[in-house]
Structure 1
Amino acid sequence: MARPNAHTDTRQEILDTAYGLVGAKGFSGVGLNEILATAGVPKGSFYHYFGSKEAFGEALLDDYFETYLADLDTTLAELGLSHAERLMNYWRKWQATQGSADYQRKCLAVKLAAEVSDLSETMRRALKGGTAGIIERLARAIEAGVAEGSLTVAGEPHTTAETLYHVWLGASLMAKIVRTDAPFDAAMATTRQILGLSSR
């Protein structure tokens, strides 16, 4: 396997450093100087890797979703579990991540959706593509769960997946407002009901 070159390493270092800063302060609240100083990268290097802050934001989201979707694929393919159990593990991980004070683990879709969707069309498209990938994977897992009999849903799998994603996105936003896990508890109960798992 070829070793990453310095270009790749530096570019990734900038992105990796930005996760925590953007997770804590939002995209608009973090200046390029702060990101580069924290990453230990010269200021002049930024535009060598990214054409603008908006292009950087798009790259940050693309990089984030690439990792997120790979982790989701792993969760939804865990051996020895039904598709229903894999799906519920995903929601448990969502709650654990969003309820954490660790900004490195926070979901950038939750953090940035409201902030950047009206400010940047390219970042909005990156968010749309990333969340569509999540919903598509959830839909396939729901369809497989129905086929194996581990869950039951009233509607079409893709519509059900969209509904559940919206429920959890809303719960994450409400949890920021009320600063308790109550929205997540409600989302979990709703999820079990929608998947026909209430009595299990």
Structure 2
Amino acid sequence: MSKREIKKEAILVAGMEVMKAQGYNGCSVKDIVDAAKVPKGSFYNYFPSKEQFALDAIEFTASEARTHAQALLGDCSECALDRLTRFFHAGIACAESSEFKVGCFLGNMCQEMADSSDSIRQRLDPILNGKTRLIADVIKEGQEGGSVNAAIDAAVAAEFLFNAWEGALMRAKAAKSRKALDAFVAMLKHVL
């Protein structure tokens, strides 16, 4: 990684924390550069706009989330249902570690920006679809292995689970409690 790429990533990571906590509209470029401890001009050397910063933050988050999901969901030493349960328990631990203040960055961006930025909406949709496909693939494996009900449509079940998870994250954030997330995991076995 070049010095330029390292500097850009440092600004991105620091600024993402601000955007995660305050939302896109709740943070300014000044908030981002203050968090990164760089002059405002440095921001524009790497990002032509706040919207481009958000797009890069979405891509960065999606890449990390994809790597994490593949590690948990791709571990074929466990049955599919156990992998899915472990995946969502890891999500609960992450939400709990932020005291339920952050939720899912991608979901938050979707809620906040999908109606006001076509660029952000168009970038988020395939990423969220990709996460859903990962879940569908594990459901299909579970159906083939007998740990998941073969009578359900794997794609529809994955869509339902992913959307229910995002809703549970939103409720956990509102309640500052893991109750909605625990309810989601409790229902996981019944759905599948």
State the TM-score, normalizing by the size of structure 2. Answer: 0.92
The separation in 2 between residues aligned to 1:183 and 1:127, in whole angstroms, is 24
The separation in 2 between residues aligned to 1:123 and 1:184, in whole angstroms, is 27
2:157 aligned to which of 152, 156, 160 = 160
1:172 aligned to which of 157, 169, 172 = 169
* Range 45-54 or range 69-78, more displaced: 45-54
- Deviation of 1:189 after TM superposition, in Å, equals 2.0
The separation in 2 between residues aligned to 1:184 and 1:149, in whole angstroms, is 26
Unmatched runs of 5 consecutive residues or more in structure 1: 196-200
Asked if structure 2 preserves the Cα contact closer than 8 Å seen for 1:14 and 1:35, the reply is yes
1:26 and 2:57 aligned = no
For the residue of structure 2 that corresponds to 1:45, the secondary structure is helix
Q: 1:103 to 1:39 in 2, by over 3 A?
A: farther
Question: Per-residue displacement from partner, 1:88-124 (whole Å, max 9, x unpaired)?
Answer: 1111111121233268975202322211111211111
Specify the alignment match of 1:47 in structure 2: 44
Equivalent positions of 1:1-200 (< 5 A) are: 4-101=1-98, 106-195=103-192
Q: Please report the RMSD computed on the Cα atoms of aligned residues, expressed in angstroms.
A: 1.8
Unmatched runs of 5 consecutive residues or more in structure 2: none
The separation in 1 between residues aligned to 2:62 and 2:39, in whole angstroms, is 27
For the residue of structure 1 that corresponds to 2:25, the secondary structure is coil
For the residue of structure 2 that corresponds to 1:187, the secondary structure is helix
Tell me the amino acid that sits aligned with residue 24 of structure 1: A
Question: Per-residue displacement from partner, 1:171-192 (whole Å, max 9, x unpaired)?
Answer: 1111122222221122112211
- Deviation of 1:79 after TM superposition, in Å, equals 4.9
Identity %: 26
Question: Per-residue displacement from partner, 1:1-51 (whole Å, max 9, x unpaired)?
Answer: xxx111101111111102221111111111111211221222112222112
* Range 85-94 or range 176-185, more displaced: 176-185
For the residue of structure 2 that corresponds to 1:191, the secondary structure is helix
The separation in 2 between residues aligned to 1:103 and 1:57, in whole angstroms, is 21
Specify the alignment match of 1:198 in structure 2: none
- Deviation of 1:69 after TM superposition, in Å, equals 0.3
The separation in 2 between residues aligned to 1:180 and 1:107, in whole angstroms, is 15
Question: Per-residue displacement from partner, 1:118-162 (whole Å, max 9, x unpaired)?
Answer: 121111122212111100111111101110112215421111100
For the residue of structure 1 that corresponds to 2:98, the secondary structure is coil
Asked if structure 2 preserves the Cα contact closer than 8 Å seen for 1:82 and 1:145, the reply is yes
Asked if structure 2 preserves the Cα contact closer than 8 Å seen for 1:153 and 1:160, the reply is no
Q: 1:179 to 1:105 in 2, by over 3 A?
A: closer
The separation in 2 between residues aligned to 1:8 and 1:27, in whole angstroms, is 23
The separation in 2 between residues aligned to 1:122 and 1:73, in whole angstroms, is 26
Residues paired across the two proteins, number: 192
